[in-house]
Amino acid sequence: MIRFNFEDKSIKPVLVDDAEAGYSILEIAEEHNIHLNHNCGGVCACSTCHIYVEKGDEYLEEITDKEEDFIDRAINPRLESRLGCQCVILEDEAKIEVTIPDQSRIIGHEH
């Protein structure tokens, strides 16, 4: 289960209860028509899929040095910052809560 919250308060939270292990937060967002920029196509080559993992980081693959380098380039990085493309779910029964930063400040891929 993943709860998507949004910094843009005009967007209501979305609860996804069918997220499966082996998929990234970005892939789950795309599958459920949740807008999350991803200029590089989800290959850890930019910072546009930056998210905040509020709860459940223990259910995600560990952060890598490469991911940390790109997070440093994100808008308003925090301790709980991750890249959605790198947050691969480890368990089907995971309970995760993320916040998607305001996407209007990112230039690039729109859908």
pLDDT digits (tens, 9 = 90+) for 11-43: 999 999 999 999 999 999 999 999 999 999 999
Q: How confident is the model at residue 106 (pLDDT cuts 50, 70, 90)?
A: confident
Architecture of the domain spanning 2-104: Roll (3.10)
Q: What is the pLDDT of residue 108?
A: 56
Tens digit of pLDDT for each residue in 59-95? 999 999 999 999 999 999 999 999 999 999 999 999 9
- The residue extents of the domains of the chain are 2-104
| Per-residue confidence (pLDDT) for residue 4, from 0 to 100 | 98
Q: Please, which residues have CB within 8 angstroms of residue 15's CB and are 6 or more apart in sequence? A: 1, 2, 3, 4
User: Average of pLDDT values for 89-109?
Assistant: 87
pLDDT at 111: 45
CA distances from 28 to 42, 46, 69 (A): 12, 19, 23
What residues does 100 pair with on adjacent strands?
A: 6
Identify which of 82, 80, 58 has the alpha carbon closest to the alpha carbon of residue 70. 82
* Beta-ladder partners of 55: 97
Question: What pTM, to 2 d.p., does this model score?
Answer: 0.92
